[in-house]
Amino acid sequence: MTRILVALVSLWFAHPAWAETSPLQAMMTGNDSKGWEGVGRLNIGGEVMCTGSLISETLVLTAAHCLFKPGTGERYADSSIEFLAGWRGGRASAYRSVRRSLVNPKYDFHGADTTRRVSHDIAILELDQPIRKSSVTPFEIGERPRKGAEVGVVSYAKDRAERPSIQETCKVLARQRGALVLNCDVDRGSSGSPVFVLEAGEVRIVSVVSAKAHAGDLPVSLATGLQDAIDGMLAEIATTDGMFTHVQAKPLPQVVKREGGAAGSAKFVRPDG
């Protein structure tokens, strides 16, 4: 995960909202992980680990930069990528290889414009076989959250590679040219992690973690502008040979305000089943 410096004019550095996050919690048991098995670890080229999430029985959403070799920018072979759905304690709910991948056409791995590169940092992987297990449920797509909204992240990382962790509540601090600035706790290996919101009692993916950064002395995470790209990418890959399953974007979530809380506050909970 790229470590970069972000200049943010409007961040609430001294605002209490910065502290309005829940702790990162490891999913130690099967009960902890229930409903989250659609998030998995990506092993890439025997060298790189990222996080991905199912958006259909055959499609995994992740960050585009995960598919490029850090030193050279060369693409990893699709056949060298494995998705381990619900990986925890040395076992996965499903193991699948990747048949092919599509990187957002607007993404530029070598681009100098950091915000632009982050905002387009999206890739879709097609698995070699569908995952059809009742315990592994794909997630639907929602629209980009507004500044101040509460989101949650489920991720793997370098120091917690053997089980996923969940942060149920963190904040969208800013939106910059299509990218989101969050105060979510991420680290190397969290790239591609799904950013969720709660909508009508269900969680929907609204963004993908792209990078770990700093705004001044404060750690932040950067996430993609998912909604601007996902429909076009799905339409493009659906026309190639009909193997991709279209995923319909959902309306912007109706956020419930807490009494005395900040605008856009909502409880992020584990989904049922």
Per-residue pLDDT at 7 exceeds 50: no
Buried-exposed string 46-60: b where 16+ CB fall within 10 A, e elsewhere? eebbbbbbbbbebbb
Sign of the alpha-carbon dihedral angle for 184, 155, 1, 187: positive
pLDDT digits (tens, 9 = 90+) for 97-141: 999 999 999 999 998 778 889 999 999 999 999 999 999 999 999
CB 194 within 8 A of CB 153: yes
pLDDT digits (tens, 9 = 90+) for 52-76: 999 999 999 999 999 999 889 999 9
pLDDT digits (tens, 9 = 90+) for 235-263: 888 876 644 443 444 433 332 222 222 22
Where along the chain do its domains lie?
A: 3-241
pLDDT > 70: percent of the chain = 81
Dig out the tokens for 267 from the structure: 């409880």
pLDDT band at 215; cut points 50, 70, 90: confident
Q: Work out the burial of residue 78: count CB atoms within 10 Å of its CB; fewer than 13 is exposed, 13-18 middle, 19 or more buried.
A: middle
DSSP of 101-147, one letter per residue? EEE-TT--TT-S-HHHHHHT--EEEEESS---BTTB-PPPB-PPPPT
Helices then strands, counting H and E runs in the chain, come out as 3, 14
pLDDT band at 205; cut points 50, 70, 90: very high
CB 54 within 8 A of CB 202: no
CB 180 within 8 A of CB 118: no
Bridge partners (DSSP) of residue 167 are 153
Bridge partners (DSSP) of residue 182 are 172, 221
Per-residue pLDDT at 164 exceeds 60: yes
Give pLDDT, residue 241.
Answer: 61
- Side-chain-facing half-sphere of 72: CA atoms under 13 Å: 4
- Compute how many other C-beta atoms are within 10 angstroms of the C-beta atom of residue 29: 11
CB 138 within 8 A of CB 124: no
Instruction: Please give the class, per CATH, of domain 3-241.
Output: mainly beta
Give pLDDT, residue 6.
Answer: 46
